[in-house]
Structure 1
Amino acid sequence: MAFRRKRIELISSVYFGTIVGVFLTFVVSLVFRPFFEGYADEAGRELQSLLSMFLGIGLVYVCISLLWQTQGDFRFIIPYVEFNRELKGTRPLVLDTSVIIDGRIVDLLNTNVLDNPLVVPRFVLAELQAIADSSDRNRRERGRRGLDVMNQIKSIDAIDLRIFDQQLPESNDLPVDAKLLALARELNAKIVTGDFNLNQVALVQNIPVINLNQIAGALKPIFFHGEETAVHLVKPGENAGQALAYTQDGTMIVVDDGRDHIGKEVIICITSILQKPSGRMVFGKFVRTKEPDSPSRAGTR
C-alpha cells in the first residue's frame, strides 16, 4: 500500500518465498520435535515456539532472497505467475556498444517515443570500460563518451534501465556481437544498434533490429525533384564546376555550376536524390544567388 509501483518479480518472490519458508519451517520442526518430548512443561513449549519462530523468520528470509536474486536463472511456472529469463510486458530493447558510444539514443529517449525497458548486458559495460582504458587516445575518448551516455540514460526517470548480469552458458566463448544476438533471442528482445554488420547478421537470424541510422535517415528533410531551396556552399566537389553543401543532419548536397559561389548562400533546383545504405545524397543545379532578405529553407547550411 505504501509503494504504488510494485514490480511483479518482487511481489512474487515475497509471496512464494514466504510459502516455501513456512513449509520448510514445519518440516524442520517435525524433525526436531522428538528432542523436545522430554520438556512437556510450559517452559519447554515456550522454548520450542521461540525456536520455531526464529527458524521460520530465517528460512522465509533465505527463500525470499534466493528467489529474488535468481529469478532470471530458471523457469518456475505457476498459473498467472512465471519466473523466467524473458522480461514480461513491452518487448525489451538490448543496447549494443556502438549505439551507446554514438549518444543519439539519449535524445531519442528524451522524446518519450520509446517506453520499452532497456537492457544493457554486463559484457557490454565491460567492453566500454576496456575501450575507455585503451592506450589509444581516440578509443579512450569513445569509451569515456559511452560511459557518460550510460550515466545520462540512467538519469532519465521515465526509462526502465536494467543491467543484465547473467551470462548465458552457451555464449561464454563467443564474441560480443554473438552474445548480443544470443541474449536478444533468449529475452525475445529487439537489438538497438548503429552497426551495419550487426544489423545484417541479426536480420539473417530473424532477430528484430532498430537501427538508429535508419531512424535518422527517415527523419531527414524530404526534397522533391524540381524544388528550389536555399543552401550554403562550403567547399568544391569532385567534378569540375561542382560545389558541396550540407544540411544540419549531415545530408550532402552536390550543386552543379556552384563552384564559383563557394562561401555564399544560393538558390538551387533539386535534380535528383540518391538513397544509399550509408545515407542520402541530393543533387541540384545552381539557379541564382540568394537575396539577403529572401526566406531560406530550414535545415540547410
Structure 2
Amino acid sequence: MRFSLGFIRFFFIILSTFFITTFMVASPKGSLLSNTVLGISVGISFSLALIVLDTFFRKWKLRSFSIVLLGLLFGYLMSQALLLSFNTLIDITSISIHAPASLLEFLKLGIVLFSLYLGTIMVHSSSKELAVSIPFVNFQNKGGRSKTVLPDLSTLCDSRIIDLASSGLLDQQIVVPKFLVEELYVQMESYDDPQKTKARKCLETLKKLEGIPSLGMQYIDIDFPDVKDITNKLLRVARKTDSHILTLDINRIQIPVPDSVRIINLNTLSSALKPSMQTGEVIKIKIQRFGKEPKQGVGYLEDGTMVVVNGAGNCIGEIIDAQVLSVKHTNSGRLVFCNAYEEDALCQEYENELLHEQ
C-alpha cells in the first residue's frame, strides 16, 4: 500500500512538472532557460502542495465527503430559490432605486453563503436517516451501522444504566421516545407516592444521561395514539426504527417480538459481567441474616449477589470464610451456595463449647 501510494505521488510529480514546464516553454515571453527552470519549480511546488492537501484529507472518510457535497448541492438549490424570491421582491418594490448596487450584491452573496452553510448543517444533522443511491454507488453505510437501543421505564428506574452508558458501550445508540417522557410527567402528577417516586427517579436518570457528552442520547417523536400500553408502544417503535429494547422486567413483555427486535435484559447483562466463581473457591462474606433452612446464613457480595452459606446461622454480623458449592443463575441475577469453611466452623464449635462450660 505504501509502495503504490509513493509511486502514484512520484508519477504525479513527474506528470505535473512535465505539463507545466511544457506550458511555460511554449510561452513567448522570457528565455528558454528561464521558462524551463520556472516551469520545473512551479510544477514541483504545485505537486508538493497537492500532496500536503492529500495527507490532510486522508483523515476524512468518504461519508463525510459525501455529506459536504450533498450539503453544498442542497444549499445551492436553496440559494437559487431565495435569490429568485429576493430578485422578485426588488423588482416589485422601489428598493433597487434607493439601495446602492454594491449593497444588493453583498446581500445576494450573504444569501448564497447562508444557504450553503444551512444546507450542509441540515444534511449533517440528518445524515443517519439520509440515504442517497446512484448506480453502483451507495452512500448509506448499512454494514457497520449499530442498532439503537430503546430503554423502557424499568431500565430508567435503575441507576446501573448510568454506569453502563458512562462506559462508552452505548455511545450514539440510546434513543428515548418522547411518549415515555410524557408518561413520566403524567405519573409525577398522580396521587400514588411509590409511582411518583419512580417517575422522579426516571427523570433524574434521563438528566444524568443527557449530561454524558460522549453518549449522544437522542429523543424521537414517534407515537402510536391508538395503542394505550406503553410496552406495546415501545415494541412498535423498536420495529419501526429497527432497534433493540433494554429492559429490567422481561416478564412484562408477553406479546410476540419480531425477529429483528431483541429484548436485552439488564440483569442478564449485569450477571454476565460479574466475576465468575469456581466450585471449591474460598471467599470472605459477612453474614447478615438467617436463611430459610436451619443453621443457614445469608450474605451479599459487593455487587449485590446473594450468598447462601450452610452452617453459618450462628455467625450473624461476622465475616467468615465460605467455600463455594455451586452458582445458580436466575432471572434476577446469580445465587451462590456455600458451606462455612471448616476452620471457621471448628472455631465456632470451640467458642460454643467454651460458652456452654461457663
Q: TM-score when scaled to structure 1? A: 0.71
Is structure 2 residue 226 aligned with structure 1 residue 173?
Answer: yes
Pick one of 68, 75, 80 that aligns with 1:18. 75
User: 1:293 — aligned with what?
Assistant: none
- Cα distance in 2, alignment partners of residues 145 and 10 from structure 1: 39
For structure 1, the residue ranges without an aligned partner over 5 or more in a row are: 37-41, 291-301
User: 2:207 — aligned with what?
Assistant: 151
- Evaluate the alpha carbon distance shift between residue 160 and residue 13 of structure 1 in structure 2; reply closer, same or farther with a 3 A threshold: farther
User: 1:294 — aligned with what?
Assistant: none
* Letter of the structure 1 residue corresponding to residue 343 of structure 2: R
Q: CA deviation at 1:137?
A: 1.6
Is structure 2 residue 335 aligned with structure 1 residue 284?
Answer: no
User: 1:102 — aligned with what?
Assistant: 158
1:242-295 Cα shifts (integer Å, max 9, x gaps):
1111112222111112112222111222222222222221111123339xxxxx
- Percent identity over the alignment is 24
- Evaluate the alpha carbon distance shift between residue 115 and residue 243 of structure 1 in structure 2; reply closer, same or farther with a 3 A threshold: same
- Cα distance in 2, alignment partners of residues 29 and 192 from structure 1: 51
Name the stretch that deviates more: 192-201 or 92-101.
192-201
User: 1:129 — aligned with what?
Assistant: 185
- Cα distance in 1, alignment partners of residues 73 and 293 from structure 2: 73
- Evaluate the alpha carbon distance shift between residue 211 and residue 116 of structure 1 in structure 2; reply closer, same or farther with a 3 A threshold: farther
* Letter of the structure 2 residue corresponding to residue 139 of structure 1: Q
Q: CA deviation at 1:60?
A: 5.8
8 Å contact 2:175–2:218 — kept in the other structure?
yes
8 Å contact 1:242–1:254 — kept in the other structure?
yes
Is structure 2 residue 239 aligned with structure 1 residue 185?
Answer: yes
- Cα distance in 2, alignment partners of residues 159 and 137 from structure 1: 31
Is structure 2 residue 329 aligned with structure 1 residue 272?
Answer: no
- Cα distance in 1, alignment partners of residues 333 and 82 from structure 2: 65
User: 2:218 — aligned with what?
Assistant: 162
Q: CA deviation at 1:107?
A: 0.9
8 Å contact 1:266–1:288 — kept in the other structure?
no
- Evaluate the alpha carbon distance shift between residue 43 and residue 242 of structure 1 in structure 2; reply closer, same or farther with a 3 A threshold: closer
1:131-168 Cα shifts (integer Å, max 9, x gaps):
2222122211111111111111111111111111x325
From the CA coordinates, give the structure whose radius of gyration is larger.
Answer: 2
8 Å contact 1:17–1:64 — kept in the other structure?
yes
- Evaluate the alpha carbon distance shift between residue 258 and residue 24 of structure 1 in structure 2; reply closer, same or farther with a 3 A threshold: same
Q: CA deviation at 1:198?
A: 5.3
Pick one of 173, 184, 198 that aligns with 1:117. 173
Q: CA deviation at 1:117?
A: 2.9
- Evaluate the alpha carbon distance shift between residue 124 and residue 260 of structure 1 in structure 2; reply closer, same or farther with a 3 A threshold: same
| RMSD of aligned Cα (Å) | 4.4
8 Å contact 2:231–2:253 — kept in the other structure?
no
Q: CA deviation at 1:28?
A: 6.9
8 Å contact 1:12–1:81 — kept in the other structure?
no
- Cα distance in 1, alignment partners of residues 161 and 70 from structure 2: 33
* Letter of the structure 2 residue corresponding to residue 263 of structure 1: G
- Cα distance in 2, alignment partners of residues 234 and 12 from structure 1: 65
User: 1:295 — aligned with what?
Assistant: none
Q: CA deviation at 1:203?
A: 5.1
The higher-RCO structure (CA 8 Å, 6+ apart) is 1
User: 2:284 — aligned with what?
Assistant: 230
Q: TM-score when scaled to structure 2? A: 0.61
Alignment map for 1:201-280 (pairs within 5 Å): 201=255, 205-280=259-334
Q: CA deviation at 1:81?
A: 5.6
Q: CA deviation at 1:27?
A: 7.5
For structure 2, the residue ranges without an aligned partner over 5 or more in a row are: 1-58, 346-358
- Cα distance in 2, alignment partners of residues 253 and 20 from structure 1: 68
- Evaluate the alpha carbon distance shift between residue 265 and residue 77 of structure 1 in structure 2; reply closer, same or farther with a 3 A threshold: same
8 Å contact 2:305–2:335 — kept in the other structure?
yes
- Evaluate the alpha carbon distance shift between residue 113 and residue 134 of structure 1 in structure 2; reply closer, same or farther with a 3 A threshold: same
User: 2:251 — aligned with what?
Assistant: 197
* Letter of the structure 2 residue corresponding to residue 196 of structure 1: I
